[in-house]
A and B are shown apart, each in its own frame.
Chain A
Amino acid sequence: MENTVQLEEQFNAKLDKGEFIEPKDWMPEKYRKTLIRQISQHAHSEIIGMQPEGNWITRAPSLRRKAVLLAKVQDEAGHGLYLYSAAETMGISRDELLDQLHTGKAKYSSIFNYQTLTWADMGAVGWLVDGAAIINQVMLQRTSYGPYSRAMVRICKEESFHQRQGYEIMCALAAGTPEQKAMAQDALNRWWWPTLMMFGPKDSESKNSTDSIRWKIKRETNDELRQKFIDRTVAQAEHLGLVIPDPELKWNEERGHYDSGEINWEEFWNVVEGRGPCNHIRLKVRVAAHENGAWVREAANAYAAKKAKREAGSLVA
């Protein structure tokens, strides 16, 4: 018991000095659990996030856009891989994590339960969704767990390319025909509020926030990050000549920030609890890919085992 107290003191001292916690270091069980939950949710989000954009790869309206979108979705799969690896350093396997995803035990970002209905959604997802993700991820580069922080440094570089490509799609649409501009505005209308929801519940109602801040897993609160996103995005929308669908959005001189309208939290919780437009289909597609691939994974394992046996045999001979 005393030992644990001592270890916890050392752990806290490390955090206070701003040092990273590394896989072999002692850590409180709850810290480990919180991180596994957060890193795996993040990994699952990357993997599920391939679907709404993968939707449009086969219909991309130019070869250049097709190539860029392919590259982006490929990056997301890569991010999923680094993040699963980071989670594995905490003593859980990728198979277990995937199983949690497939059985609905683990969550992924609710934003991917929204539909991508038009090409402009490729722009809005890159600009808004990746833009919101970057704000969160830039903060996570300084997260206290070393492997997570290092994965984030790599991921952030690619995410800023993703956001740029999304914004560039929006620029092309906004400068295009009236139909294209209307398509861009429609995408902004549909994605604005769900994007704000990505930062999670209000600070006053966030049950995971306090511990995460204390352990320096998170360094800024949901509301602070959301404000940062809004402040940053308003000018970008103005530059596009598009209107953010919030009549209460207004610069507040005194606060030095934009004031904004209330998020529809009823929608937020319903989507989190499985009643978004695509919760069912996203999971179904993921599970189908996994199940349809089972024989491939079995074959790869069987082949590797045979090969190892043959090589061992030839060494003996």
Chain B
Amino acid sequence: MSVNSQQALFEYALRLGDNALILGHRLSEWTANGPILEEDIALTNIALDLVGQSRMLLSYAGEIEGKGRTEDDLAYYRQSAEFRNALLTETDNGDFAQTIARQLFYSVFADQLLQGLQKSTDATFAGYAAKAIKENAYHLRHAAEWTLRLGDGTDESKRRMQEGVDKLWMFTGDLFATTEADMQLVSAGIVPDVSTFREAWLKRVSDVLTEATLTVPESNWFQSGSRNGIHTEALSYLLGEMQSLARAYPGANW
């Protein structure tokens, strides 16, 4: 593997791992705060799936890099500019409706991505996708069902769900951002070209929103930057909390 394509693969594994880690972390903030006990269980369960996925992916990223960094080195000792997660995943939980909107947007995208990765010529990516696609199918169903309940529930829930959708809409474009390095991986059959997912994503998300009697936002203005390490303000706070203990005792084993 050339140095360039090794770097491209490393970055991609980081992106996948960071998406799972940061979204999983956000969902874990719901623990003991859910609107009903069953949702405490569901959100914690999704968080657990994602943290599990991140461990596998970040370990793999460390292997590709070949400098001996472990999953924990990568999770706990990088600065926010070194994280590659999509902006959407780091957005704050907001209320339950906003969390569900984020889950819907992300899980539809993840379903597309994982379907493509299942066919990857990279055995680790393909293996990861085969496992994660099953987990994600549940995450997607959970998000879609709640979107329906909230959108077509009460006036208040409809207003909140619409607000969540509108507020997060501008962060969805960044999911499909593609770098030149990604295109090398696409040509080698290692990853799918996510820039081609957009139309199908919009169709699937719109179908759910419409069934939920919600309005699909019309804005075509999207935030971007995660592929270059430009994040929102929210990420540094998240990392400040997540990394605090590990960094207070460098070199300790837990």
Measured between beta carbons, the chain A residues less than 8 angstroms from B162 are none
The reply on B3 being an interface residue by CB < 8 A is no
How far is A306 from B148 in the complex, measured between Cα atoms in Å?
A: 11
In the bound assembly, the distance between CA atoms of A304 and B153 in angstroms comes to 8
The complex places the Cα of A177 from the Cα of B252 at a distance, in Å, of 7
Residues in B neighbouring A214, C-beta threshold 8 A: none
CB distance from B96 to the nearest CB of A (A): 5
Cβ-defined contact, B51 with A54, below 8 A: no
* CB atoms of B254 and A172 under 8 A apart: yes
The answer on a CB contact under 8 Å between A59 and B242 is yes
B131 within 8 A of A: no
| Contact residues in B for A285 (Cβ distance below 8 Å) | 32-33
Whether the Cβ atoms of A299 and B153 lie closer than 8 Å is: yes
Say yes or no: B32 contacts A71, CB within 8 Å: no
Stretch of A77-85, A224-232, A259-267 lying at the B interface: A77-85
B interface, size bucket: 35 or more
Residues 139-187 of B at the A interface (beta carbon under 8 Å): 148-150, 152-154, 156-157, 160
A93 touches B (CB below 8 Å) = no
Contact between chains at B51 and A180 (CB < 8 Å): no
CB-defined contacts of B148 to chain A, threshold 8 Å: 303
Interchain CB contact under 8 A, A74 and B37: no
Residue of A nearest to B212 (CB): A303
Q: Which residue of B38, B54, B95 is within 8 Å of A81 (Cβ)?
A: B38
A117 to B158, CA, bound (A): 40
Chain A residues packing against B (C-beta within 8 Å)? 47, 50-51, 54, 57-67, 70-71, 73-74, 77-78, 80-81, 84, 119, 169, 172-173, 176-177, 179-180, 285-286, 288-289, 292-300, 302-304, 306
17 examples of A-B residue contacts, CB within 8 angstroms: A59-B244, A61-B76, A61-B249, A62-B76, A63-B58, A63-B71, A66-B51, A74-B31, A77-B44, A176-B253, A176-B254, A177-B249, A292-B95, A293-B39, A295-B154, A296-B36, A303-B152
